[in-house]
Amino acid sequence: MKRAMWLKSIGLTSVFLAGAVLTACGDDGNNAVDGGVNGDGDGEEEVTVRLTGWQSSPTEQRYLEETIEAFEEEYPHINVQMDTIADQYMDVLQTRLIGGEAADVFFLDAFEAPRLIEAGVLEPLDSYVTEEFDVDDFEEPLIEAFRRDGQLWGLPKDTSTLALFYNKDHFEEAGIDTPPETWEEMEEMAKTLTVDNRYGLGIVTDLARLYFIAESQGGEVTVDNQANFTDPNVIDALQPIVDMKNEKEIAASPADVGAEWGGDMFGTERASMIIEGNWMIEFMEDAFPDVNYGVVEVPTINDNKGTMAYTVSYSMNEASEQKEEAWQLIEFLTGKEGMEIWTSSGLALPSRQSVAESLEYTDEAIYEPFIEGTSYATVWADDTNLPIINSNFENQFVSAFLGDQELEEAMEEAERVANNEIDN
């Protein structure tokens, strides 16, 4: 009993008490105004802008630091203080926002954005945007993900899309010359490619990956901010995925083979094909340089091209005390110059058309399918309830994928539980 209470006291005090205390301290610390003590001569006070994000690799960190350095050179009076949240980004960010301790500028995934916009913790950016900044240059679907109630709440820093990775050596062994162009071809090849300890196709069972497939037969996964998994068109579209795993036994998920994620599964050659994002290119180079692979666009379903696009914005904290400088940082990072430095890594693709055109990657053939994809991709973003819809889908789809229940049953259950949770 006592310990149960302790648990609560820890949880609650950390949010309320500590949060309140930290706010008080933080406000003094944040500004870090030097007050011209250094006597730089330009008369401007030195200002510290805090930036929070995540980091998926040291290379990514290096490129971001490089971009920020370029910014600091251009704005010598602004000092950017970057910190990364390693895990459970949204939980930590939300807790910091509640405690008044969040940074001035932070990364925000399009998928999570509506909830924060609705909560009113973001600063609308419309009034800051200048003609010169050229908002129309951003890919429309990407920037659309951060528009709500006629206002702009973030600027997409970059995008990532999915494409089909295939192992060239396995293809050669199986006597297949060209990678698949249609979904039927891919299934056919997966069958040929499956050998005893290796699957033809690796499938990541997240809704974030399957969304475009689920909607490929004309169904809609969400309607009016509620789950709509039982739409027969959605079930029909997803059924082939489940069949490939259970009936045909030519596909598996990374977890089935004990791999951490798709890249791990593909790199250790436990799958000959997998639909993954452009982030995998760098990973393969680092971890599995010997795997001989190629990349093509995601095979067409019913002659329609499709893929997913993910995007993350720089958004501004409504409670920021140096909004002008924070905007200058966002403006630079999502401006043409900053985006060019940042996306030259190839870890993420530019969200501005002009940058996408001017940027040249050394390994063009590998990047092309991803860049092509941006023009027809479905953006992973919907409305405030997408996180709830997503987690319920995952929970139930996995059990259908494992063969524990029929897909239709699983989707009924997922829809019921999700909408029940939403109504509460």
Partner 1 sequence: MAKWKLSKSQLRETGQGYLFMSPAILTIVVFLIGPILFALFLAFNRVNLLGDVSFDFVWFDNFTRMANDERALIALKNTAFYVGIVVPVQTILALVLASSLNAGMKGEKWFRVIYFLPTLTSSAVLVMIFMWMYRPDGLINTLLSGVGLPTYNWVNDPSVALISIMIMNIWATAPFFMVIYLAALQDIPDSLYEAAELDGASGIQKFWHVTVPLLRPVTAFAVIMGIIGTFQLFDQSYMFSGGSGGPNNSTLTVVLLIYQYAFSNNQMGYAAALAVALALIILTATLIQRKLQKDEQVY
Q: Is 242 in the site for partner 1 (CB under 8 A)?
A: no
d(CA 310, CA 344): 18
**Residue 12 beta carbon to partner 1: minimum distance, rounded to whole angstroms:** 5
String marking each residue 96-115 x if it binds partner 1 according to CB under 8 A: -xx----------------x
Q: Is 86 in the site for partner 1 (CB under 8 A)?
A: no
List 84's β-bridge partners, or say none: 53
List 275's β-bridge partners, or say none: 164
**Residue 380 beta carbon to partner 1: minimum distance, rounded to whole angstroms:** 18
| Contact call for residues 229 and 393 (beta carbons, < 8 A) | yes
Sign of the torsion formed by the C-alpha atoms of 409, 414, 415 and 419: positive
Nearer to partner 1, 52 or 159 (CB): 52
Q: Is 15 in the site for partner 1 (CB under 8 A)?
A: yes
Nearer to partner 1, 98 or 129 (CB): 98
| Contact call for residues 98 and 15 (beta carbons, < 8 A) | yes
Nearer to partner 1, 238 or 366 (CB): 238
Q: Which part of the chain contacts partner 1 (CB under 8 A), choosing from 168-176, 216-224, 345-353, 396-404?
A: 396-404
Nearer to partner 1, 257 or 356 (CB): 257
At 110, list the tokens.
């399009």
Q: Is 38 in the site for partner 1 (CB under 8 A)?
A: no
| Contact call for residues 273 and 200 (beta carbons, < 8 A) | yes
**What are the E-state strand segments in 30-99?**
47-53, 78-84
Q: Is 188 in the site for partner 1 (CB under 8 A)?
A: no
Q: Which part of the chain contacts partner 1 (CB under 8 A), choosing from 94-102, 144-152, 235-243, 367-375?
A: 94-102
- The closest of 103, 158, 153 to 129, measured between CA atoms, is 153
Q: Is 255 in the site for partner 1 (CB under 8 A)?
A: yes
How does strand 251-252 pair with strand 199-202?
Answer: parallel
**Considering only residues 46, 60, 256, 264, which one is a binding residue for partner 1 as defined by CB under 8 A?**
256
**Considering only residues 116, 238, 241, 281, which one is a binding residue for partner 1 as defined by CB under 8 A?**
116
Burial (CB count within 10 angstroms: exposed 0-12, middle 13-18, buried 19+), residue 191 = middle
d(CA 193, CA 405): 27
Tokens 């993910």 locate to 310
**Residue 176 beta carbon to partner 1: minimum distance, rounded to whole angstroms:** 28
- DSSP 8-state code for residue 301: B
Nearer to partner 1, 244 or 414 (CB): 414
List 316's β-bridge partners, or say none: 105
d(CA 333, CA 339): 6
| Contact call for residues 49 and 326 (beta carbons, < 8 A) | yes
Q: Is 22 in the site for partner 1 (CB under 8 A)?
A: no
| Contact call for residues 222 and 339 (beta carbons, < 8 A) | no
Q: Is 398 in the site for partner 1 (CB under 8 A)?
A: yes
**Residue 366 beta carbon to partner 1: minimum distance, rounded to whole angstroms:** 30
- DSSP 8-state code for residue 402: T
Q: Is 403 in the site for partner 1 (CB under 8 A)?
A: no
Q: Which part of the chain contacts partner 1 (CB under 8 A), choosing from 36-44, 117-125, 212-220, 365-373?
A: 117-125
Q: Is 394 in the site for partner 1 (CB under 8 A)?
A: yes
Return the axis-axis angle of helices 386-401 and 207-214, rounded to nearest 10°: 90
Q: Which part of the chain contacts partner 1 (CB under 8 A), choosing from 7-15, 64-72, 294-302, 364-372?
A: 7-15
Task: Please report, as ranges, the residues that interact with partner 1 according to CB under 8 A.
Answer: 1, 3-9, 11-13, 15-17, 88, 90-91, 94-95, 97-98, 115-116, 118-121, 255-258, 387-388, 391, 394-396, 398-399, 402, 404, 417, 420-421, 424
